[in-house]
């Protein structure tokens, strides 16, 4: 069965094959299904608000006044964004008594302006500070793959991904500070996008790292993500024209991001690169000293630790006992840096970005596995040492692009019933339109 892409749903709405009201009711029914993952994927479901909005969009469409072709399609919102009249708890008990937001986050307002309907708020890693997706407060949604084993969904946009795989929404709003859109996408055989950060306003989103945070979509296809990204960035809503891989200059880094692949990812990566080469792509393995320099630059916690500590210091004084202990320990690493350390990190990053952009001038994109392993079982993460090891491994590859201030997308290398794996395609910052076009071509080839 074909996946419900935004393009297909838009056509169905235009031709009267469905209504917004029906789409909303279908999503609500799947969320409420006691055999599904709705209870752990959503921390709030907008039952009546979504129904009212759906009826309004159906009436506007009948009157020829729909705000966009996609008006009336349900989307989910990560519990990191303000929605007027609702609490923004960021997956935490620390903010359980926070006052409701006075207004929508800028990106939520833009989605609503395009006619998308908010179906609910999705679960996440507490304060978005992990790539695994486990939440001890609100539960952890199970990966779409091998549900019997109960594997991690990936984080921090965990509920966002499962809302897509289980058709509880047709687009999802997430954030990406070190891979939080791309990791759950790779683990669940969908697409996740990390834009050039400055393109999309952060107003009304609870921060993790003001330097590295970016806002992106998760959806079934590259085209779906491109449409959502356009809405988020205030650009015209249109799908990219796929660029065929023939002649595409792809750089494969001779760097640590190609290490420690498990058998599933290694096989999928090899097969995918062969398909690209056979289609005429020019694949070059090259050294990236800039990438190799990032771990040393981040040795004292990088940007996320001190910048999150800035946001959380007063909350920790009052409510340290309410934090997920694993998240709290990562935030408190911010104490390891002095002001001199931080200023030096800013300068080092700027130089690394300049060097990276210069090296990439001869290539169209960078490509390597989004995550070097398939999703591990949730039970395997009970041990703190194993959690730390796997969390660092899962974040390693995608976080490179946040440090480099680039744009990146994860497209599936394998499809169910195989274990999901993702290939990340990335470009220097500002090349989002180019990246969507070439990613759409790669997606079609790999599919």
- Residue carrying structure tokens 């499962």: 162
Whether the pLDDT of residue 1 is over 70: the answer is no
Burial of 282 (0-12, 13-18, 19+ CB in 10 A): middle
Decide yes or no: CATH 3.90.1300.10 for domain 1-447.
Answer: yes
223 a catalytic residue? no
Other beta carbons less than 10 A from residue 115's beta carbon: 23
pLDDT mean over 189-215: 98
At what angle are helices 432-446 and 222-233 packed, to 10 degrees? 160
Other beta carbons less than 10 A from residue 35's beta carbon: 5
d(CA 265, CA 383): 24
What tokens does 376 get? 């591990």
d(CA 225, CA 5): 10
Strand partners of residue 120: 45, 76
Dump pLDDT digits (tens) for 381-424.
999 999 999 999 999 999 999 999 999 999 999 999 999 999 99
**Domain-wise residue ranges, the chain:** 1-447
* Beta strands 74-78; 172-175: pairing state: parallel
Dump pLDDT digits (tens) for 47-65.
999 999 999 999 999 999 9
Dump pLDDT digits (tens) for 229-254.
999 999 999 999 999 999 999 999 99
d(CA 434, CA 326): 38
Please report the DSSP string for 140-151 in residue order.
-PPPSS-TTT-B
Other beta carbons less than 10 A from residue 238's beta carbon: 11
Burial of 232 (0-12, 13-18, 19+ CB in 10 A): buried
What tokens does 138 get? 């609100």
pLDDT mean over 263-283: 98
- Residue carrying structure tokens 């800035």: 310
Catalytic residue, from 78, 112, 142, 194: name it. Answer: 78
DSSP SS3 for 284:
strand
pLDDT mean over 61-83: 98
Q: From edge to edge, which strands make up the β-sheet containing 249-254? A: 42-45, 117-122, 74-78, 172-175, 215-219, 191-194, 407-412, 422-427, 365-369, 249-254, 282-287
Phi, psi of 249 (to 5 degrees): -95, 105
- Residue carrying structure tokens 């001038």: 361
- Predicted confidence at residue 2, as pLDDT, reads 78
Asked whether the bond before 133 is cis by omega within 30 degrees of 0, the reply is: no
* Mean per-residue pLDDT over the chain, rounded: 97
Catalytic residue, from 130, 169, 180, 308: name it. Answer: 180
d(CA 7, CA 68): 12
Please report the DSSP string for 24-68 in residue order.
HHHHHHHHH-TTSSHHHHEEEE-HHHHHHHHHHHHHHHHTT--SS
- Predicted confidence at residue 382, as pLDDT, reads 96
Query: DSSP label at 354?
Result: H
Catalytic residue, from 20, 156, 163, 169: name it. Answer: 156
- Predicted confidence at residue 234, as pLDDT, reads 97
| Residues 278/387, Cβ–Cβ less than 8 Å | no
d(CA 375, CA 437): 28
- Helix ranges restricted to H, 299-429: 304-319, 325-331, 339-359, 384-403
d(CA 409, CA 217): 10
Phi, psi of 361 (to 5 degrees): -65, -20
Radius of gyration of the chain (CA): 21
96 a catalytic residue? no
| Residues 159/125, Cβ–Cβ less than 8 Å | no
d(CA 76, CA 74): 7
156 a catalytic residue? yes
Asked whether the bond before 156 is cis by omega within 30 degrees of 0, the reply is: yes
Dump pLDDT digits (tens) for 282-339.
999 999 999 999 999 999 999 999 999 999 999 999 999 999 999 999 999 999 999 9
Residue 16 vs residues 38, 50, 195, 239: alpha-carbon distances, Å: 28, 20, 34, 22
Q: Is the dihedral of CA 51, 29, 106, 310 positive or negative?
A: positive
């Amino acid at each position: 069965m074909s996946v419900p892409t935004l393009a297909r749903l838009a056509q169905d709405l235009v031709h009267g094959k469905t209504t917004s009201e029906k789409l909303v009711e279908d999503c609500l029914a799947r969320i409420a299904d006691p055999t599904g993952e709705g209870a752990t994927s959503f921390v709030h479901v907008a039952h009546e608000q979504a129904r009212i909005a759906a009826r309004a969009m159906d009436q506007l469409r009948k009157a020829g006044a729909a705000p966009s072709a996609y008006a009336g399609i349900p989307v989910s919102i990560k519990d990191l964004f303000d929605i007027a009249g609702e609490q923004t708890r960021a997956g935490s008990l620390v903010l359980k008594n926070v006052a409701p937001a006075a207004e929508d986050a800028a990106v939520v307002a833009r989605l609503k302006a395009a006619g998308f309907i908010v179906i609910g708020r999705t679960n996440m890693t507490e304060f978005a500070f992990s790539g695994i997706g486990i939440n001890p407060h609100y539960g952890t949604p199970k990966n779409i793959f091998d549900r019997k084993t109960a594997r991690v969904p990936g984080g921090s946009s965990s509920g966002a991904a499962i809302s897509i795989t289980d058709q509880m929404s047709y687009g999802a709003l997430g954030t990406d500070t070190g891979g939080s859109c791309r990791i759950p996408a790779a683990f669940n055989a969908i697409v996740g996008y990390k834009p050039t950060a400055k393109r999309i306003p952060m107003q009304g989103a609870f921060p993790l790292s003001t330097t590295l945070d970016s806002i992106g979509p998760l959806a079934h296809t590259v085209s779906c993500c491109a449409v959502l990204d356009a809405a988020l960035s205030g650009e015209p809503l249109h799908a990219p024209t796929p660029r065929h891989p023939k002649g595409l200059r792809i750089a494969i880094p001779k760097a640590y991001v190609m290490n420690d692949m498990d058998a599933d990812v290694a096989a999928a990566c090899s097969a995918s690169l062969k398909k690209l080469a056979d289609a005429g792509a020019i694949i070059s393995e090259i050294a990236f000293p800039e990438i190799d320099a990032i771990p040393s630059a981040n040795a004292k916690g990088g940007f996320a630790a001190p910048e999150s500590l800035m946001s959380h210091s007063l909350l920790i004084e009052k409510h340290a006992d309410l934090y997920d202990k694993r998240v709290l320990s990562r935030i408190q690493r911010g104490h390891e840096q002095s002001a001199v350390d931080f200023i030096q990190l800013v300068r080092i990053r700027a130089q690394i970005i300049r060097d990276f952009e210069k090296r990439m001038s001869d290539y169209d994109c960078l490509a390597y596995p989004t995550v070097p392993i398939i999703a591990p079982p949730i039970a395997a993460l009970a041990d703190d040492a194993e959690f730390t090891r796997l969390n660092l491994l899962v974040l390693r590859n995608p976080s490179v692009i946040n440090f480099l201030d680039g744009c990146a997308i994860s497209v599936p290398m394998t499809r169910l019933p195989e274990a999901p794996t993702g290939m990340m395609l990335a470009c220097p910052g500002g090349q989002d339109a180019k990246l969507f076009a070439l990613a759409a071509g790669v997606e079609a080839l790999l599919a």
